[in-house]
Amino acid sequence: MTERGRGGPVDRLLGAVPFDALIRQIDIQAILERVDLNALLDEVDVNRLLDRIDVDELVARLDLGEVIAESTRGVAGRVLDAIRAAAAGLDLRLERGVNRILHRAANEEDASPDGAADPSPAEEPRGRNAGPVSRFSAGLIDLGVSWISLSALIAAVVVVIDVLLGSRVTLNVPAGVGIPATTLWLALYFVVSWAVPGRTVGMAILGLLVIRGDGSTLGWRHALLRVLLLPFSLIAGLGLIGVIVGRRHRALHDVIADSRVIFDW
């Protein structure tokens, strides 16, 4: 109300009404006691209301399966991103430490566009050469995956033989057969993984991709060459030193097979 209207007849009328006294005269409890809630609920035809609701249509529009799947993918994606970023961050710290020890400037390939220090891998790691923490972690995962998959394959073969022969069979594989067979399985696992999707299971978890030195797809020939050279890199670990101190983090088998491992997620 404006200053001009104050003190007018409306104000005097409102001032004369005892609102507080009126409110005190209202017995809220008595009003609630007079309301028969049971009678009101009896008047509501719940079945009729439910009949009007098309539950199937609601479920179809909601698509609970897609909602659950999307939520699961979101959570899994965030967990994987956190693991990858942590490994990439350790790679970066190790690389900077090696550069200081060797009195070496930052790798130009991994430097930021303005020539400043290396960017944080958690910000934009895609395309950068992967370091030893990510690569060795992926390798350990792959050893476990390949062993589990080989064990599952052997168990499946035993079950099939049991069914065909109708009796329980126990496989006793001599070392002269088991070691070459295991080696062949490992080689097959890595060759197919590197040649087709460009990454093993462990590399996929750590967000790594193996490519040619020029950035093209590795291919079958280079994947096979990389596997054949891998044992030479593993001998006393000498062939893996380049992954730690090399500018492009390449092992012996990477240099000869013209391959490199990059972050790609």
pLDDT averaged per 10 residues, the chain (length 265): 57 66 67 67 66 64 58 74 91 91 70 41 72 94 93 86 76 76 92 95 94 93 94 85 91 94 92
pLDDT, one tens digit per residue, over 37-92 is 666 666 666 667 666 666 666 556 656 556 555 655 677 778 888 899 999 999 99
CA separation for the pair 62, 158 (Å, rounded):
45
Angle among Cα 121, 193, 219 to the nearest 5 degrees reads 95
Of the candidates 14, 249, 229, 18, which has an alpha carbon nearest to the alpha carbon of residue 136?
Answer: 249
The answer to whether the predicted template modeling score (pTM) of the entire model surpasses 0.75 is: no
pLDDT at 44: 64
Q: Which pLDDT value is given to residue 118?
A: 45
